[in-house]
Chains A and B, each alone.
Chain A
Amino acid sequence: MGKGSIVAGVLAPHPPHLVYADNPPQNEPRSECGWEVLRWAYERCRASIRALNPDVLLVHSPHWPSFIGHHFLGLPRFQGLSVDPVFPHLFRYRYDVKVDVELSLQIRDRVAAQGQLTSVVENPDFRLDYGSIICLHLINPSWDIPVVLISANQSAFYYSNEVGADVAKIVGNATREAVEASGKRAVLLASSSLSHRHFVHEPEIPEDMSFERIHHHGQYLWDMKVLDMMRKGQCRELLDIMPEFNEMATAETKVGSLNWLLEALGVPDYPAEVHGYGTVIGTGNAVVEWTASKPRGAQ
């Protein structure tokens, strides 16, 4: 078996609005349009990822929050209905997901070997989280690539951002080592927004884009600062300021998905490609791709 590799990493936000606006057959609600700039960003990223011909997609999702350690899927297939608990009027999606159980358990073993608590889902009634479902649909709507889902440990909320970052680093390194040992080509998806303060009202028609803007200017400044660092390959510096970003921008990255991605990628010092940025009900969302094999400065 040849050496496996992480062929790309993607910051892949999961607003259900993007699936809603796309009207895929799996989703029950219907829309007329909406959030095109972000959806086009996903289209570009999707084409880029497809060209890399990955064997597996790995997702770290804030909407599978784990209080105790990290959880992994241990069954080869999960089917069901995912209903967004916050936006049920937008997202009621029937999924049928194939799991790369072998890789899932290899990562689990390596995380456990580092002294972290782990748990494997072997209950077939388990419902996959909508954050994972949404970003997987947006990256691979044909669902023809097996997946590995990793829960997001919540220690940043119970202890501190620094504790959360340390845990994400362990899981990120374990992910990279397991992928390399597997011989597979993997794409990693950090299912996360950037700034994450929502409006608490919405327009009567959810896709009314005249409503859509960032919640406040401070959030926008922080999002641009962070994206600029990604574009310049300053991910080490980004990890350094992440605790402050998490707090100042109420960022969803506090959950650790972006930390996990950057650590698994070996903390990239090459430029990321920002496919697009847009707001969803006030939150800041960017589709960002790190592909080491692409010529630098390709953006």
Chain B
Amino acid sequence: MNQGLISKAYIVSGMPHSYLTPEASPSFARLSEAYAKIRREIEESDADLILYFSTQWLSILGYMFQADPSPEWLHVDQNWHQLGSIPYKFAIDTAFAQSYAEEVDALGYKTRLINYHGFPIDTGTIVAQKLLNPQNRLPAAIVSCNMYSEKDETTRVGQAAARALQASGKKAIAVLVSNLSNRYLVEAYDPKNNRISSKKDDEWNRKILDLLAKGSLEDVSQCTREFARQANGDQKFKGAWWLNGLLGQSNAFNGQVLAYEPVWGTGAAIVALTPTQPVQAVALEQSQSSEEGSQAALVEELTDFEGRSRPHTTAPVRAERAESKLPAETKLPANTQDAFPDFEINSEKSAEPVGSYPHARRYGDLLFLSGIGPRQPGQKEIPGVTLDADGRIVAYDVRVQTLAVIENIRRVLESAGSSLEKVIDVQAYLTNMKADFKVYNEVYNEAFGKIRPTRTTVEVGALPTPIAVEFKVMARP
């Protein structure tokens, strides 16, 4: 069991589409599925609270902390109002909010505890709560994103959260609610045909996600400014600084990119970071030291002619730079080393696997399907196969079986946001080439004759279940 302050950390998109209209687009559905996966992880975690930093809750006067024990409202997003209303009632850990505010206050930043009926909790936090913590199993803590803050300040506010956790003796799930690139499409848009607003934004998103897949959060933090400049990062993607401060400014994580999808041109991702070392708090004295100073504090100081706006101004003290705690030779999990995107796809509409494998796996810009036979989900009978009482094959119909195989492939592809038309390679396995090839080939030609993927057909001695045909497919996503 992880003995640190953070059980697990996530970066999620706060766009409401994956909550309100997942059926409108395969992209939204995949984001929703990824959300569901981490919701299950959170439900099994040993955390005491769930801590949110959302780029959609902007503050000017320092930092705000939600302190209404049970905020309740009927929320409508200012932009996506046509998607519907979201009623909510959340459980807030007000004691932690108080403790966190005190830690930030000790850094010299303005703080405010929010306990006003009708205060507008931001869409991003609401969506994340609804999808990750729908039953309020964990009390939540929510801190605002200061619109002026720079790297140093935001990192310190993250560090303050760790100190508050340490002081309270609690363990948290950390959730950063933020898009990656945040440039919206300006033209009419078909949700079923999503795209990132530019190739450049997409490439930058992938660079960041490559680093996150390797667990290199400190590295992400160091290139956040350039990413934000190049790809219009969501609120400069400063949430990465907060998360990095909270998690100890290191690369010591197992990273997993669970989804990366466009939403109205923006880059929306679901990322999980599992600490490989216990996350500990940085002492206040160390946190106050600064190598670069906060831009907001600097401007404030330079223009504070009467010394009124800040009662105390302390000259920045140069401190040791926070180095990565990850030893150079540390071996990362194979599935996160080089790959992006790299994730599993499992379709409820296809037969259950007979072993430990997914229906498909997306690797980069390709989809790899496991071998697909004619079996149907939730059924013992296999289409086109007649068995005797002992389970031996007494008759089979290769036409029926081949049709069922192709239908199963179509279902898996559609679950992955693809289609039969995007198949680029087929490997077909027949148990009796001489008897079955002609019929199999007729059915195949009807389905793939116009699509024209490359194909290889081989005879095999047997297949794992009593079937006569199985396809192995590669496709574009």
Q: Which of B60, B81, B118, B308 contacts A211 (CB 8 A)?
A: B308
Cross-chain contact A66 with B78 (CB below 8 angstroms): yes
Q: Out of A85, A119, A215, name the residue touching B120 (CB < 8 Å).
A: A85
Q: Does A114 contact B (CB under 8 A)?
A: no
- Kindly state whether residue B58 has any CB partner on chain A within 8 Å: yes
Question: What is the CA–CA distance of A127 and B85 in the complex, to the nearest angstrom?
Answer: 11
Q: With a 10 A CB-CB cut-off, give which of B112, B119, B120, B182 has the most chain A CB atoms.
A: B120
Contacts of A65 in B (CB 8 A): 78-79
* B185-204 interface bits toward A, Cβ cutoff 8 Å, 1 = contact, 0 = none: 11111000000010000000
Contact of A158 among B84, B148, B183, B300 (CB under 8 A): B183
Task: State whether B82 touches A81 (Cβ < 8 A).
Answer: no
Q: Is the CB of A86 within 8 A of B58?
A: yes
Do A86 and B61 touch (CB < 8 A)?
Answer: yes
Q: Is A83 on the interface with B (CB-CB < 8 A)? A: yes
A122 to B84, CA, bound (A): 10
- Is A67's beta carbon under 8 Å from chain B? yes
Of A47-55, A178-186, A199-207, A226-234, the segment with at least 4 beta carbons within 8 Å of chain B is: A199-207
A88: Cβ under 8 A from any B Cβ: yes
Nearest to B62 among chain A residues (CB) is A200
Chain B residue at minimal CB-CB distance from A117: B188
Check: A126 CB closer than 8 A to any chain B CB. Answer: yes
B62 near A83 with CB under 8 A, answer no
B296 touches A127 (CB 8 A): no
Which residues of the partner chain A approach B189 to less than 8 Å between Cβ atoms? 68
Shortest distance from the beta carbon of B84 to any chain A beta carbon, whole Å: 7
Query: Would A88 and B62 be within 8 Å (CB), given that A83-B120, A121-B81 are in contact?
Result: no
Looking at the complex, which one of A85, A123, A154, A211 makes contact with B84 (CB distance below 8 Å)? A123
Report A-chain residues with C-beta under 8 Å of the C-beta of B118: 81, 83, 92
Pairwise interchain contact A126-B76, C-beta atoms closer than 8 A:
yes
A125 within 8 Å of B (CB atoms): yes
Q: How far is the CB of B111 from chain A (nearest CB, A)?
A: 11
The answer to whether A67 and B303 have CB atoms under 8 Å apart is no
Report if A89 contacts B (CB, 8 A). Answer: yes
* CB of A39 within 8 Å of the partner chain: no
Q: Are B114 and A198 in contact (CB under 8 A)?
A: no
- Determine the chain A residues whose CB is within 8 A of the CB of B75 once the complex forms: 125
Q: Which of A85, A117, A122, A126 contacts B57 (CB 8 A)?
A: A85
A221 to B84, CA, bound (A): 46
Q: Could you tell me which residues of chain A, from 113 to 170, have a CB within 8 Å of some CB in chain B?
A: 117, 119, 121-123, 125-127, 129, 151, 154-155, 157-159
Q: Determine whether the beta carbon of B296 is less than 8 Å from that of A200.
A: yes
Instruction: Find out whether the CB atom of B60 lies under 8 angstroms from the CB atom of A86.
Output: yes
Q: Is A176 positioned at the interface, with any CB of B under 8 Å from its CB?
A: no
Q: How many A residues touch B, CB cutoff 8 Å?
A: 42
Q: Across the interface, do B82 and A123 meet the contact criterion of CB distance under 8 Å?
A: yes
Determine if A125 and B119 form an interchain contact, defined as CB atoms under 8 angstroms apart.
no
In the complex, per-residue mask of B68-97: 1 if CB is within 8 Å of any chain A CB, else 0: 000000111011011011000000000000
Using A86-B60, A88-B114 as known contacts, say yes or no to A68 and B79 having CB atoms under 8 A apart. yes
A88 contacts B57, C-beta separation under 8 Å: no
The docked-state distance in angstroms from the alpha carbon of A87 to that of B120 is 11
List the A side residues contacting B148 at CB < 8 Å. 198, 200
Contact A66 B79, CB 8 Å, known A85-B58, A127-B120, A200-B148: yes
Which residues of the other chain, B, contact A68 by a CB distance below 8 angstroms? 79, 184-186, 189, 264
The answer to the question of A216 belonging to the interface, with a C-beta cut-off of 8 Å to chain B, is yes
Q: Roughly how many angstroms separate A157 CA and B189 CA in the complex, as a whole number?
A: 20
Nearest Cβ on chain B to A221's Cβ, whole angstroms: 13
Give the distance in Å from the alpha carbon of A123 to the alpha carbon of B83 in the complex.
9
Residues of A within 8 A of B114 (CB): 88
Residue of A nearest to B148 (CB): A200
Q: CB-CB contacts of A181-221 with B at 8 A, as 1s and 0s?
A: 00000000000000001111110000000110001110000
Given the known inter-chain contacts A68-B186, A88-B114, A119-B82, please indicate yes or no for A201 contacting B120, CB distance below 8 A: no
Closest residue on chain A to residue B303 by CB atoms: A216
Query: What are 29 A-B pairs at a CB distance below 8 A?
Result: A65-B78, A65-B79, A68-B264, A81-B118, A83-B116, A83-B118, A85-B58, A85-B120, A86-B58, A86-B61, A88-B114, A89-B116, A92-B117, A121-B81, A122-B82, A123-B81, A125-B85, A157-B232, A198-B148, A199-B300, A199-B309, A200-B60, A200-B296, A200-B309, A201-B110, A210-B308, A211-B308, A216-B299, A216-B302
Please report B residues at the A interface, Cβ cutoff 8 Å: 57-62, 74-76, 78-79, 81-82, 84-85, 109-110, 112, 114, 116-120, 122, 146, 148, 182-189, 197, 232, 264, 296, 299-300, 302-303, 308-310
Contacts A66-B78, A68-B79, A119-B81 aside, 18 further interface pairs with beta carbons under 8 A come to A67-B264, A68-B186, A85-B57, A85-B58, A86-B59, A89-B112, A123-B84, A125-B74, A129-B78, A151-B78, A154-B184, A158-B232, A199-B300, A199-B309, A200-B110, A201-B309, A202-B110, A216-B302
Nearest 8 interchain pairs by C-beta: A216-B303, A81-B118, A67-B184, A125-B85, A158-B183, A126-B76, A83-B118, A123-B81
